[in-house]
Amino acid sequence: MAMRLEDAQLYMAVACPHGPEPELEALCRAAIRDGVDIVELRAADGATAACLQAAGTIAGVCAAEDALFVVDDPVVAEAAGADGLTIGDPEMSIGEARAVAGLEKLIGVPAATAAEAQLAEEIGADFLLLSTRVSEFGVLARIRDLARVPVFPGGISNESDARRLLDMGFFRLCFEADALDEAAVAQRAALFSRMLGRV
């Protein structure tokens, strides 16, 4: 059975490598097996050869391991046949994103305030990625109460941050695989999965 956005709870963002990265496949596979439901490739440099290769690798792993794959660059997302696109370019509208990615693809929108989150929902976002700091409890609570689409709070680097969000009533988390270290990423995924009550 294919992973559905509504069922996804753990989101991992990984930066596009600047060159061939043999550990990327193993890292993604381990993270998914330890509970990651969505892998996002962040293509800061756009559709470079290395990024297109990484996207193909991750797309294959996600398809084999029943996880969703999204990219923050429309060219890379289309080339890899990603499940969705996160809007990394503030100039791109959701309409433009759907025109590029396809009507059936998931569209994620970053938000840092309740107003941004509400606007993103109103114009058709399928999910929200919160860049709000964990310490901003009032903003997070307002977004939590307003949201009608899946919300993945980001900026989580440790167990304490995750616990604060879960105690506030969130039941989805997003973390960054900031270093391509398979064991560390798998350990973090397993920890957050346990905290979400999934293991």
Which CA distances in Å does 148 have to 24, 93, 102, 129, 179? 33, 20, 22, 13, 33
CA–CA distance, 107 with 171 (Å, rounded to integer): 20
What is the DSSP track for 77-133? HHHHT-SEEE---TT--HHHHHHHH-TTSEEEEEESSHHHHHHHHHTT-SEEEE---
Annotation: CATH topology of 5-195: TIM Barrel (3.20.20)
Token pair in block for residue 26: 């193993």
Q: What does the mean pLDDT of the chain come to?
A: 88
Give the DSSP H/E element, type plus range, for residue 193: helix 182-195
Task: Give the domain ranges of the chain.
Answer: 5-195
pLDDT in tens, 154-187: 878 789 989 999 999 999 999 988 765 888 899 9
Which CA distances in Å does 108 have to 87, 98, 103? 6, 11, 13
pLDDT in tens, 48-98: 888 899 999 999 999 999 999 999 998 899 999 999 999 877 677 888 888
